[in-house]
């Protein structure tokens, strides 16, 4: 069905954007049955629902000539759960209604509230915002909803999950009773049904979940790994796919921070998005992705809502989603607007059954595969390099002059080899991983219990995850301070604020004496304290038994809960979640 039945100002805007025909959800809201009615729409993420509700309330806003009255009190209100989604919706409606001369005001947390109030006082036809900021403007008298003709709740299920019920109710209670209410939600849990019953009249239910593109444009894969090799699997997946843009999902902001630091250290162009970042930092991160200055984004679920990047072709679930809906919302960041995408779940061996159950519940058929090997990654690199070097390019006279000078001094084969070497040197190295077979896992377990470490002494160092502890620089430090070799350091256990490690009992005395001597040497990081320990398990048990936190203590931090109370003694510091 073409867009010929729409007002010309909207049809022309859609044509300029390359829209030839409506998507399933857009066609559903344009039917004669849906005209003028309240709607409850179930649609997948990325199905074009922003344009859909923009078209749905067009008849309520535009006059017979396709114009708009002088902007005074808002005629349409769109409520979205996050800043990013609200900003995305605002951008979409701006181009859709540009030819109609619509004035659109955006009201989101983290932005200048005084500028938003001036925009509202100056008159706006459409207001887009987040529940908290809209409620604030409403209570201060800056937002007048008395003339509202249409209210849209975008991703209503997520807004209720995030605790915005009271905000939504206060906003909707301030609107006229005869307004239209359009409720868009990927899922329809009972709280959504209750909200619809209270604020809608004879609502028409529309569902395009089954007939829309569904999962057709997304290829799902599940990679089983050892719990200790999750980060290595992330590196190899990024290197294997070399996606133009990729997004990595973690469950907590602490894990976002840690994974972001690791990927930066490995040489990836990466940005981070989580609740601890300001709106300015989030805008800069997204702009870096759009400008291709960054290719990887590490994010939490809430922070990534509303991200719409046309070049995003790879989603990696570094931590398993909490349910099927979260899986779909995360994965829906890719495979949008007819583009193809890949969603990969990294699954620790012990959690495979849970993931299989989640995939069945979501009716997703995922291919279970092994993590890419360094050999497979290098094979991909060779094909990509050949394609890039053999592709036609435009060169100027200066390029040709340099090329001729090189050919005069080196053989063509040597120049080509140097070019290949430079290309490889600029790319992060893949990780060696345990082969995904029972025999290989048993061999790796035996290797961890190698000869010479049957009798060990535990030591502790007062550096942990909060100080970005990493074995790659801790190990050289221990060797310098203790005058031992890398092969004389056993297991390393990194905790929140300290790290425990093993030294064979036969050399423990020599190690202790060397640590004491180097503590007097300012050039050997003497401010780092190294001392004997009972080991991480004993220390953790002592804490559980109520003896306080012993010198070598390691504990499992409580999961971070958005909006929850802050821990005493650490004002403004978020709770930490389970380690990735």
The model's pLDDT over 60-78, given as tens digits with 9 standing for 90+, comes to 999 877 788 888 899 999 9
Q: What is the per-residue pLDDT for 134?
A: 95
Same domain membership, residue 61 and residue 183: yes
pLDDT band at 46 (very low <50, low <70, confident <90, very high): low
Inside any domain, residue 459: yes
Task: Choose one of 187, 207, 227: the last residue of a domain.
Answer: 207
Positive or negative torsion for Cα 266, 269, 275, 280: positive
Token pair in block for residue 63: 């006059």
Inside any domain, residue 384: no
Same domain membership, residue 316 and residue 178: no
Q: What is the per-residue pLDDT for 185?
A: 80
Q: What is the per-residue pLDDT for 209?
A: 63
Q: Is the pLDDT of residue 308 over 80?
A: no
Q: What are phi and psi of 220, to 5 degrees?
A: -100, 135
pLDDT band at 303 (very low <50, low <70, confident <90, very high): low
CA separation for the pair 479, 83 (Å, rounded): 48
pLDDT band at 311 (very low <50, low <70, confident <90, very high): confident
Same domain membership, residue 227 and residue 159: no
**Number of helices followed by number of strands (H, E) in the chain:** 23, 18
CATH number at residue 256: 3.40.50.300
Rounded to whole angstroms, the maximal C-alpha distance in the chain is 91
pLDDT exceeding 70 applies to what percent of the chain? 85
Inside any domain, residue 332: yes
CA separation for the pair 167, 136 (Å, rounded): 9
Inside any domain, residue 397: no
Q: What is the per-residue pLDDT for 277?
A: 82
Q: Is the pLDDT of residue 442 over 80?
A: no
CA separation for the pair 205, 296 (Å, rounded): 38
CA separation for the pair 294, 309 (Å, rounded): 12
Same domain membership, residue 467 and residue 371: no
CA separation for the pair 513, 265 (Å, rounded): 33
CA separation for the pair 278, 284 (Å, rounded): 10
Inside any domain, residue 341: yes
pLDDT single digits (tens) 135-156: 999 999 999 999 999 999 998 8
Contacts (Cβ under 8 Å, ≥6 apart) of 401: none
Q: What is the per-residue pLDDT for 454?
A: 72
Same domain membership, residue 363 and residue 340: yes
Same domain membership, residue 64 and residue 27: yes
Q: State the average pLDDT over residues 315-319.
A: 95
Q: State the average pLDDT over residues 124-142.
A: 94
Q: State the average pLDDT over residues 494-516.
A: 89
Token pair in block for residue 468: 């970005």
Q: Please, are residues 81 and 145 in contact by the beta-carbon 8 Å criterion?
A: no
- The domain tally of the chain equals 3
Strand partners, 225: 348
Q: Distances in Å between the alpha carbon of 249 and those of 304, 319, 342, 573? A: 8, 7, 14, 21
Identify which of 272-276, 461-465, 506-510 has the greatest average pLDDT.
506-510
- CA-nearest of 460, 482, 479 to 550 is 460
Token pair in block for residue 577: 């979640």
Inside any domain, residue 380: no
Buried b (16+ CB within 10 A) or exposed e, 449-465: eeeebeebbbbbbebbb
Q: State the average pLDDT over residues 365-386.
A: 91
Same domain membership, residue 199 and residue 104: yes
Q: What is the per-residue pLDDT for 512?
A: 92
Lowest mean pLDDT among 79-83, 353-357, 452-456: 452-456
Same domain membership, residue 189 and residue 84: yes
Q: What is the per-residue pLDDT for 443?
A: 62
Q: Is the pLDDT of residue 433 over 80?
A: yes
Same domain membership, residue 123 and residue 32: yes
Same domain membership, residue 174 and residue 67: yes
Q: What is the per-residue pLDDT for 163?
A: 83
Looking at 98-213, which runs of residues are DSSP E strands? 104-107, 126-129, 150-154, 180-185, 204-207
Q: What is the per-residue pLDDT for 290?
A: 87
pLDDT single digits (tens) 246-276: 999 998 888 999 999 999 988 899 999 987 8
Q: In angstroms, how far is CA 371 from the centroid of its own chain?
A: 21
Same domain membership, residue 256 and residue 177: no
CATH number at residue 507: 3.30.70.330
Strand ranges across the sheet with 492-494: 492-494, 499-504, 456-461, 530-532
Task: Choose one of 322, 342, 375: the last residue of a domain.
Answer: 375
Q: Is the pLDDT of residue 519 over 70?
A: yes
Burial of residue 174, with CB atoms counted within 10 A of its CB: 0-12 exposed, 13-18 middle, 19 or more buried: middle
Inside any domain, residue 575: no
Lowest mean pLDDT among 100-104, 134-138, 484-488: 484-488
Range(s) of the domain holding residue 261: 218-375
- CA-nearest of 122, 160, 168 to 144 is 122
Same domain membership, residue 337 and residue 283: yes
pLDDT band at 432 (very low <50, low <70, confident <90, very high): confident
Q: What is the per-residue pLDDT for 342?
A: 93
Q: Distances in Å between the alpha carbon of 142 and those of 94, 135, 554? A: 22, 10, 51
| Angular region, 123: left φ>0, alpha ψ -120 to 50, beta rest | left
Q: What is the per-residue pLDDT for 546?
A: 36
Instruction: Return the higher-pLDDT residue of 110 and 566.
Output: 110
- What dihedral angle (degrees, nearest 10) is formed by the CA atoms of 475, 477, 479, 481? -150
Inside any domain, residue 324: yes
- CA-nearest of 160, 164, 199 to 180 is 199
Q: State the average pLDDT over residues 181-202.
A: 85
CA separation for the pair 145, 176 (Å, rounded): 7
Task: Choose one of 165, 180, 207: the last residue of a domain.
Answer: 207
- CA-nearest of 345, 318, 319 to 224 is 345
Q: What is the per-residue pLDDT for 98?
A: 92
Q: Is the pLDDT of residue 364 over 50?
A: yes
Helix (H) or strand (E) holding 79: strand 76-79
Q: Please, are residues 39 and 182 in contact by the beta-carbon 8 Å criterion?
A: yes
């Amino acid at each position: 069905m073409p867009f010929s039945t729409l007002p010309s100002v909207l049809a022309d805007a859609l044509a300029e954007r390359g829209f030839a025909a409506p998507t399933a959800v857009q066609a559903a809201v344009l039917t004669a049955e849906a005209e003028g009615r309240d709607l409850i729409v179930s649609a997948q993420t990325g199905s074009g629902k922003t344009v859909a509700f923009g078209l749905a309330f067009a008849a309520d806003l535009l006059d017979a000539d396709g114009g708009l009255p002088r902007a005074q009190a808002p005629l349409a209100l769109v409520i979205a759960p996050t800043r990013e989604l609200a900003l995305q919706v605002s951008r979409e409606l701006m181009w859709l209604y540009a030819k109609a001369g619509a004035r659109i005001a955006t009201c989101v947390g983290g932005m200048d509230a005084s500028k938003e109030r001036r925009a509202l006082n100056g008159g706006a036809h459409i207001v887009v915002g987040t529940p908290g900021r809209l409620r604030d403007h409403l209570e201060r008298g800056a937002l007048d909803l008395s003339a509202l003709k249409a209210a849209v709740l975008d991703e209503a299920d997520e807004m209720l999950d995030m605790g915005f019920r009271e905000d939504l109710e206060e906003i909707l209670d301030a609107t006229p009773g005869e307004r239209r209410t359009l409720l868009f939600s990927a899922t329809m849990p009972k709280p959504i049904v209750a909200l619809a019953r209270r604020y809608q009249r004879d609502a028409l239910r529309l569902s395009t979940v089954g007939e829309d593109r569904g999962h057709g444009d997304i290829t799902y894969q599940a990679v089983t790994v050892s719990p200790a090799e999750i980060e290595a699997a992330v590196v190899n997946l990024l290197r294997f796919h070399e996606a133009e843009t990729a997004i990595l999902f973690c469950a907590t902001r602490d894990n976002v921070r840690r994974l972001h630091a690791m990927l930066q250290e490995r040489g990836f162009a990466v940005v981070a998005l989580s609740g601890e970042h300001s709106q300015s930092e989030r805008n800069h991160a997204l702009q870096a992705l759009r400008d291709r200055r960054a290719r990887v984004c590490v994010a939490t679920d809430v922070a990534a809502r509303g991200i719409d990047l046309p070049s995003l072709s790879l989603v990696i679930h570094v931590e398993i989603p909490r349910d099927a809906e979260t899986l779909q919302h995360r994965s829906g960041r890719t495979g949008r607007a007819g583009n193809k995408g890949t969603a990969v779940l990294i699954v620790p061996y012990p959690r495979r059954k849970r993931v299989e159950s989640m995939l069945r519940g979501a009716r997703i058929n995922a291919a279970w595969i092994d993590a890419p090997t360094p050999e497979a990654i290098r094979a991909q690199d060779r094909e990509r390099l050949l394609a890039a070097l053999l592709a036609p390019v435009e060169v100027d006279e200066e390029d040709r002059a340099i090329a001729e000078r090189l050919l005069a001094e080196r053989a063509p084969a040597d120049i080509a080899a140097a070019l290949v070497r430079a290309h490889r040197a600029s790319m992060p190295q893949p990780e060696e991983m345990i082969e995904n077979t029972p025999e290989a896992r048993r061999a790796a377990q035996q290797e961890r219990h190698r000869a010479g470490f049957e009798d060990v002494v535990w030591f502790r160092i007062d550096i942990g995850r909060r100080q970005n502890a990493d074995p790659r620089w801790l190990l050289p430090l221990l060797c310098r301070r203790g005058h031992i070799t890398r092969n004389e350091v056993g297991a390393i256990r990194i905790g929140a604020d300290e790290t425990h490690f093993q030294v064979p009992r036969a050399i423990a005395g020599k190690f202790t004496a060397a640590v004491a001597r180097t503590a007097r040497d300012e050039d050997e990081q003497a401010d780092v304290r190294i001392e004997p320990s009972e080991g991480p398990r004993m220390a953790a048990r002592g804490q559980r038994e109520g003896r306080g936190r012993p010198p070598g203590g390691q504990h499992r931090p409580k999961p971070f809960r958005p909006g929850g109370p802050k821990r005493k003694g650490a004002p403004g510091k978020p709770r930490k979640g389970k380690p990735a």
